[in-house]
Chain A
Amino acid sequence: AQSVAQPEDQVNVAEGNPLTVKCTYSVSGNPYLFWYVQYPNRGLQFLLKYITGDNLVKGSYGFEAEFNKSQTSFHLKKPSALVSDSALYFCAVRPKYSGAGSYQLTFGKGTKLSVIP
């Protein structure tokens, strides 16, 4: 069974500092990996995905994530945090193979990011 771990419930960072939100995963075969952001009482918004190719993926709002196959990680990063980045962030994984299991998009429990002015 596939799984996603977001080891930090909350991450606090000062505005202007770099931020990292951690994610590790477990899946059979090669993964599709995703990051989503959720603002209060809203649906999740897609930020970026890793499908194949370059391990560094760039997404919306200046976010990027680095796929590390040996460490089975897909950490979300941003060089300079903004107060408006404060939200709940979810990492998700699904297997690349298009079998029945491909319907399972498994989410982590979420990490609350607080950017302090």
Chain B
Amino acid sequence: SQTIHQWPATLVQPVGSPLSLECTVEGTSNPNLYWYRQAAGRGLQLLFYSVGIGQISSEVPQNLSASRPQDRQFILSSKKLLLSDSGFYLCAWRPKEAFFGQGTRLTVV
């Protein structure tokens, strides 16, 4: 069966520090992978999606970047975090419907 893992679950980082969130999928190959951010416990904003290794599409220009170094690995990064980067980050794998990881609560202080 397919599963999606995302870590860490919570993260508190100072302003200006780097960020790396990792997402991996098991049980499938060549998945479409997505990073979403959810602010204030409500709507989801699509940040990045990837249809294959090294292929990244950015939906919203911002302080974040994404990489797809392996087929089933999707990484969200930042070189210098801003206060406004705080939020709940969700990785998703999508055949037709989306399957989500458990999310990372990022607090930038």
Contacts and interface: CB of A to CB of B under 8 A. Distances in A.
Interface of A: 32, 34, 36, 41-46, 49, 51, 88, 90, 92, 103-105, 107-110
Given A44-B44, A92-B98, A110-B41, 14 more contacts: A32-B96, A34-B97, A36-B98, A41-B88, A41-B103, A41-B105, A43-B90, A43-B102, A44-B92, A49-B96, A49-B97, A103-B49, A104-B46, A109-B42
Interface of B: 6, 32, 34, 41-44, 46, 49, 51, 57, 88, 90, 92, 94, 96-103, 105
Given A32-B96, A43-B90, A107 B43 contact: yes
A108 to B, nearest CB: 7
Nearest to A34: B97
A46 B101 CA distance: 12
